Every structure is written in structure tokens, then in C-alpha cells.
Amino acid sequence: MNHSTAPARPDHASPEGAGSGAPHITFDQVKENPRARIYVRRADEALAQIGYTEHGERHVGLVSRIAFNVLKRLGYPERDSELAAIAGWLHDIGNAVNRESHAQTGATMAMQILHELGMGDNEICTVIGAIGNHHENDGDPVSPVAAALIMADKSDVHRTRVRNPDQIKFDIHDRVNYAVVKSFLNVDESQKQITLELTIDNEISEVMEYFEIFMTRMQASRKAAHYLGAKFGVTVNGFRLTS
């Protein structure tokens, strides 16, 4: 495959609806679905119990918006962008079951919700394939929607995610998240360059700590960007750390 250009969209990723008889399930329908709402909230509550950073509606809402924008700005069809937003909203619901393998568990839970809403099976497979592959340790960009979800999820690092009110008890994840006062995933469609722009308070966390934690996430983002035919980079306080 030539990685300098976006891979051809496989036929099975074609938008459904037209001709398939399956209704066009919107992002708002998924977001307002009572079962989805409960799963998102309970997943976040479960993570709070084991000391994880915020994974609730703020996180999944932001991931939805970023995933939507990545595909839209790179010129993918509007429906692909909407499927990425839907995957973003549901991507962490598996944490309601267990943090371990939450991507795969969440995919099967999302399948049930989307099926009940009436989404067609091809679109369901696109969404759950993205959800099941969003985790950096065992996921791969298997579609444009999956690639966008990976990039969006890995770019949400921010001090508002830290729940621990006591800075003295911060672990390295808390410190790194708390140190980030601004994060923005910049998609430059003309240069095919996606850049995670971070503003870090160096008094709270060293840049090296950031990399200690986020190296695997950055590698996942780079792989996802390549899948979309783009380069990936990171800037910290205006300095570009990667090519």
C-alpha cells in the first residue's frame, strides 16, 4: 500500500441507507439514547472507583467532535464523519464491565444499542470495528473511522480529566494530565499533517514524563495518521518534538 495517499475506501465501508433500507441513525439519536446515556455514565463511575481519569460525557463528547472533524477536514464523506462521531460517543462504554479489554467489550455493547436503534449491519460493523480497535495496546486502524477514533481518543489529555483533588497524591498520569493546560489536534488538510499541539505547565510535569506515559499513544496516533494518508506530529509549548 502506498502510505503517501489515503487508502481506497473498501466497499463494505460505503454509507448505507440509500438502497439498503436501513435507516440513517444520527449522532444525536445515539447520544440521546437512554441506554447509551446510562452505559456512558456507569463506565465513567466504574473508572472513578479504580482511580482513573475522567472518561464521561466530557471525554466522549470531545472525542466525538475531534473524530468527526479529522475525517471531515481530510475530505471523507459526511457519513463516515458521523459514524466516527457515533463511535466516539460509545467507545468507552466497555469500562462499565471491566477496564481490561474494554474496547472489545464495549464494541459488543455498542452493537446491541445500534442494532436496537435500527442501524444497518454494515455501518454497525464499521462503528464496532473502530470501538474494538481504539485501545493503543491491541488496536489497529482498520478503517478511516477507526483511525479517526484512535487519533481523537489519544489527543484528549487535559487537566480537567484529573479527579484527584490532592496534588500531593498525584500519580504520573494525574501529573501529566494536570500539566496540560491546552491541547488541540490540528488537522492541516493541505499539508496532510495532523499535529497534537500541547501547552504544558513545566512546573507540574516534565516533558519527559509526558513521553514516558504517552509514547505508545503517540505511536498509535502516528499509525492512524499514516492510515489516513497524513503525517503526525506533536508540539509542546510551540516546539515541534516530532517530524
Instruction: Give the interface with Fe ion as residue ranges (CB under 5 A).
Output: 92, 153
Q: With respect to Fe ion, which residue has the nearer C-beta, 123 or 153? A: 153
Q: With respect to Fe ion, which residue has the nearer C-beta, 82 or 92? A: 92
* Interatomic CA distance for residues 79 and 237, integer angstroms: 35
| CB of 92 vs Fe ion, minimal distance in Å | 4
Q: Is the dihedral of CA 202, 205, 210, 212 positive or negative?
A: positive
| CB of 131 vs Fe ion, minimal distance in Å | 9
User: One-letter amino acid identity for 21?
Assistant: G
| CB of 16 vs Fe ion, minimal distance in Å | 26
Q: With respect to Fe ion, which residue has the nearer C-beta, 6 or 162? A: 162
| CB of 81 vs Fe ion, minimal distance in Å | 18
235, 131, 230, 161: CA torsion to nearest 10: -10
| CB of 90 vs Fe ion, minimal distance in Å | 10
Q: Is the dihedral of CA 220, 226, 228, 233 positive or negative?
A: positive
- Exposure string (b/e) for 161-192, b if CB count within 10 Å is 16 or more? bbeeeeeeebeebbbbbbbbeebebebeeeeb
| CB of 60 vs Fe ion, minimal distance in Å | 7
Q: With respect to Fe ion, which residue has the nearer C-beta, 221 or 231? A: 221
8 Å CB contact between 64 and 81? no
CA-based nearest residue to 174, from 195, 204, 197? 204
Q: With respect to Fe ion, which residue has the nearer C-beta, 87 or 204? A: 87
Q: With respect to Fe ion, which residue has the nearer C-beta, 137 or 243? A: 137
CA-based nearest residue to 221, from 210, 213, 231? 231
Q: With respect to Fe ion, which residue has the nearer C-beta, 104 or 143? A: 104
User: One-letter amino acid identity for 13?
Assistant: A
| CB of 8 vs Fe ion, minimal distance in Å | 28
* Interatomic CA distance for residues 135 and 124, integer angstroms: 19
